[in-house]
Structure 1
Amino acid sequence: MARRTKGDGSLFQRKSGLWVGAVEIPTADGSRRQKQVTSMDRNKAIEKLRKLRRDVEEGYLPVTGATTVARWLDQWLTTIHGREVRPSTRVSYEATIRLYILPAIGDRRLDKLTPEHVRRMHTHAEKTSGRAAQKAHIILQRALDDAIKEGLLRTNVAARVHKPRHRADVREPLTTDQAKHLLRVAITNGDPLASRWAAALLLGARQGELLGLQWDRVDLDHGLIDLTRQLQQVRQAHGCGERHPDGTWPCGMGKPGHDYPSKCPRRRWETPADFELTPLHGSLALTKPKTKAGGRLVPIPEPLWLMLLDHQGKAGLNPHNLVWRHDDGRPISPRLDYTLWQAALAAAELPAAPLHVARHTTASLLAEAGVSEHVRMQILGHVAVAAHRGYVHVDVEQRRQAMASLDTLLELDAATGA
């Protein structure tokens, strides 16, 4: 009889009469791990053992009771998928997993998920919105796809359940009068970010593009702004070793529930290998836009040009050469910027609105001024035109003419900036 090699599996009977079959499972770190099958019937135990051996030979690694949805998503986001996506995408994934997936099915064993569990997750997320349920479904399906590739699952249960439908909310832009009123109030009140709000409304730039704008990319002589960088909050991780059981790290930082990776002297950025960034302060860094269309030259409308000329003389430290910053030179975080935007709206007695409404407002104002669609799309940095409609390249002069039309529409007083 041939001698059984390691991994072939063993079969034995306990005193209780229960037959137990065991196979050693390969692990990445070489540690020993076994999977067992049991039956009171010897023939059934042999059948289960043979199936287990085949699974291991085919690369299917049996899941243990400890492999829950929560544990797999943590591993998936940390070591498999997290480094393949942009920091902002990862932050969105983490929030969706924490708020909508884990509370509903996080404690479920990975290989025991059923369509009913997925629908239960939908129901939980839909208490917030249809979009939340849709995002939870997409992320779960991607994570389970990777579990199949890793040999942990044979099928993707999420793929057998219809993705929730979602109707996007219509974001109403500010009217021309509201935009003018907001800027006038900000200037009258001496809001230090008045030029920031003017740039948002007149350029249609994204939040990160303006928060990361540096003076060496503002050409006041030629009236152009180069939007090829953006400020992002980028996740960091400890680089000092493995976390201790008490929640601390070898560097001495951290406690249960709080990692404080930014304080680790050997911290590292959790980004894709080809991701370019320039650290500024804490977790805030300058990054490149995700598409070629995202980086663009935009002409400066005359009222904004005057406001920037005045703003350039602002006193205070500026080690990063940022256009808008704290007095000590630190970049303004996206969260604080959002809070200050809401304060500006409230000061103008306008209803609360997300900052992205400013981009919608620019698009609406440009359309109202009669600017052609392909010029509008180039100004706003959209890729849909080039990808789907085949419009020709728009040069800077056409964009400049469009911005002049915007000046006329808003009827801003060049002498006062409002």
Structure 2
Amino acid sequence: MPRIRKTGAVYPIRHEQRKTLKDGTVKTYVNWQAKVDGRWVSAKTYKECDRKIAEAIKEKTEWGMGVDRTTRLGEYAERWFELKRRDLKPNSIGNYASLISVHLSKYANEKLGEVTASAVQRMIANMRNLDGTPCSYNRQLGFYNVLNQIFKAAVADRLIPTSPVTSAARPKRRDAGLAGDRRTINGPVVVSTDRRSGTQDRKAFTVKQMQDMLEASSDDLFMGARQWWRLLTGMRQGEILGATLDDLDLWRDKTLETPDSGEIWIGTYTVNWKLESLDKEHGCGEPGRNGRYPCGFKRPSSCPRYRWKVPDGYDMIHLCKGYALTPPKSARGKVVPIIPQLGTVMHRYLEATDGSIPNPYNLIFRTREGLPISAFDDRAGFRDLMRRAGIPDYENRYGHECRNSVVSLLFHMKVDAGIIQRIVGHSSVEMSEHYRTVPIEDLMRGMETIGDGLDLKQIEWKA
């Protein structure tokens, strides 16, 4: 066993290992070993081992610890993700897994202690989609955040003294350029066939476009009520599809009624849930060498002891298949006002569907069979509405833009920014501003105040 001199100096010790070969001969393998600060160093020669000892002592003196030279990035990332996934939301689990398997796997054999800051920058700058096109800014930012967390955990585990992930490696959003020339850290963005490059160019619908969609959806109460809800509340898709009757409060307001108006209903909706599609995983154990699990099934949904891919203690209500009600993105308890026009439509919708449409899960919006509406079918329904309403480029517009539209319209109507934040459930006023689209007419009116302030009408050109 390696010894330490009384002076504290560490020096290599010869180590022999004998192995009997197939022909009966015994072969002796010799190497030199030493233990520095609890970590072993070894080499084939005394001189090489002595050099490694000096390096380890220098690292300990400089950093207060030695650097792990054996653990590789891939194996550590795998161990880190096994712990991290317990705290991640279901959607984030898939995103993290994709970033690690697609982008980090290329560097899996890199030694953790030998990854430099410039190497991290190259990892991010050289990211590519599955079809070879450069990754979008958001994809690069996600990979940067994953690397940052992995190396911070390695520092906390005393495997490396400092993290090589610096602010210089953080991807920077570039200007769009001219004529739609979108750019990232890698230069101009080539359109990806797997639709992962670039960003969704989300913007608000105009008042006329919103009116046209409301008009186009008014011919079918069962389908149209959901579109009116989307256009007049600005709620997120999952919150709309996961809206429950328990959280809806409608009441008749006779003070708003006139002899010709009929009944007028108003109310509030409290956002406590969203509809989410969750994945399952095997709970019977690890697969064998042949890839088969102990339960004998390949699909996790067939495993008698399946588990949901959710964090420990995750609050959820399973509905059917992979659908479940889960906590919304923003804090629970956000109250959304239901204006009279929407409230009256919803009252008619609830009366028409009560008893005629099954509702085993107490959802406001559901299929005619009483099942949850999938996100895919909801997007298809909204695209069809945009087509019927004559919205230009409807194939590249999104239901989430109704959220931008509500925010922009509220700002246009001079509603206080703090109230807008509370209505749509943004984390800050700045986020509400981010969703705001300002019409050119409002910009022009704003700039016209300069002329009034300078009283330009009193100045006449003499030339």
TM surpasses 0.5: yes
Q: Closer, same or farther in 2 for the Cα pair 1:173/1:290, shift >3 Å? A: closer
What residue in structure 1 maps to residue 386 of structure 2?
A: 345
Select the residue among 174, 184, 187 that pairs with 2:215: 184
Residues of 1 paired with 2:65 and 2:388: CA distance? 62
Q: How does 1:186-201 map to 2 (within 5 A)?
A: 186-188=217-219, 190=220, 192-201=222-231
Residues of 1 paired with 2:43 and 2:97: CA distance? 38
What secondary structure, in the 3-state scheme, does the structure 2 residue paired with 1:186 have? helix
Equivalent position amino acid for 1:208 in 2: G
Residues of 2 paired with 1:275 and 1:87: CA distance? 9
- Checking the alignment, whether the CA contact within 8 Å between 1:11 and 1:46 is kept in structure 2 is no
Task: Count the aligned residue pairs.
Answer: 365
- Checking the alignment, whether the CA contact within 8 Å between 2:282 and 2:303 is kept in structure 1 is yes
What residue in structure 2 maps to residue 379 of structure 1?
A: 423
What secondary structure, in the 3-state scheme, does the structure 2 residue paired with 1:157 have? coil
Select the residue among 253, 267, 271 that pairs with 1:223: 267
Q: Closer, same or farther in 2 for the Cα pair 1:116/1:296, shift >3 Å? A: same
Instruction: Decide which structure has the larger Cα Rg and report it.
Output: 2
Q: Closer, same or farther in 2 for the Cα pair 1:383/1:192, shift >3 Å? A: same
Deviation at 1:142, TM superposition (A): 0.8
What residue in structure 2 maps to residue 307 of structure 1?
A: 345
Q: Does 1:77 align with 2:84?
A: no
Show CA shifts across 1:301-358 (max 9, x none).
2232233223323333321111122333332233443333333323333222233211
What residue in structure 1 maps to residue 23 of structure 2?
A: none
Using structure 1 for the length normalisation, give the TM-score: 0.74
Q: How does 1:104-253 map to 2 (within 5 A)?
A: 105-125=107-127, 127-159=134-166, 161-166=168-173, 171-188=202-219, 190=220, 192-221=222-251, 223-253=267-297
Equivalent position amino acid for 2:382 in 1: W
Unaligned 5+ runs, structure 1: 27-33, 255-259, 389-418
Q: Closer, same or farther in 2 for the Cα pair 1:107/1:46, shift >3 Å? A: closer
Deviation at 1:203, TM superposition (A): 0.7
- Checking the alignment, whether the CA contact within 8 Å between 1:125 and 1:136 is kept in structure 2 is no
- Checking the alignment, whether the CA contact within 8 Å between 1:118 and 1:161 is kept in structure 2 is no
Deviation at 1:88, TM superposition (A): 2.8
Q: How does 1:5-154 map to 2 (within 5 A)?
A: 11-13=14-16, 19-21=31-33, 37-40=42-45, 42-46=46-50, 48=52, 62=68, 64=70, 67-69=72-74, 71-78=75-82, 80-99=83-102, 101-102=103-104, 105-125=107-127, 127-154=134-161
Greater RCO (Cα-Cα under 8 Å, separation 6 or more): 1
What secondary structure, in the 3-state scheme, does the structure 1 residue paired with 2:276 have? strand
The RMSD of aligned alpha carbons is 3.8
Deviation at 1:61, TM superposition (A): 8.7
What secondary structure, in the 3-state scheme, does the structure 2 residue paired with 1:299 have? strand
Equivalent position amino acid for 1:289 in 2: P
Q: Closer, same or farther in 2 for the Cα pair 1:366/1:278, shift >3 Å? A: same
Deviation at 1:296, TM superposition (A): 1.5
Select the residue among 355, 361, 368 that pairs with 2:405: 361
Q: Bigger CA drift: 196-205 or 296-305?
A: 296-305
Deviation at 1:363, TM superposition (A): 0.7
- Checking the alignment, whether the CA contact within 8 Å between 1:295 and 1:381 is kept in structure 2 is no
Show CA shifts across 1:376-408 (max 9, x none).
1111112315999xxxxxxxxxxxxxxxxxxxx
Residues of 2 paired with 1:366 and 1:52: CA distance? 63
Deviation at 1:237, TM superposition (A): 2.4
What secondary structure, in the 3-state scheme, does the structure 1 residue paired with 2:325 have? strand
Residues of 2 paired with 1:92 and 1:236: CA distance? 16
Q: Bigger CA drift: 148-157 or 354-363?
A: 148-157
What residue in structure 2 maps to residue 320 of structure 1?
A: 361
Residues of 2 paired with 1:361 and 1:283: CA distance? 31
Unaligned 5+ runs, structure 2: 5-11, 18-26, 129-133, 176-198, 252-265, 433-463
What residue in structure 1 maps to residue 24 of structure 2?
A: none
Residues of 1 paired with 2:301 and 2:68: CA distance? 37
Q: Closer, same or farther in 2 for the Cα pair 1:214/1:160, shift >3 Å? A: closer
Residues of 1 paired with 2:215 and 2:431: CA distance? 38
What residue in structure 1 maps to residue 7 of structure 2?
A: none
Select the residue among 316, 321, 333 that pairs with 1:277: 316
Q: Closer, same or farther in 2 for the Cα pair 1:167/1:327, shift >3 Å? A: farther
Q: Closer, same or farther in 2 for the Cα pair 1:347/1:93, shift >3 Å? A: farther
Select the residue among 297, 308, 314 that pairs with 2:335: 297
- Checking the alignment, whether the CA contact within 8 Å between 2:421 and 2:427 is kept in structure 1 is yes
What residue in structure 1 maps to residue 327 of structure 2?
A: 288
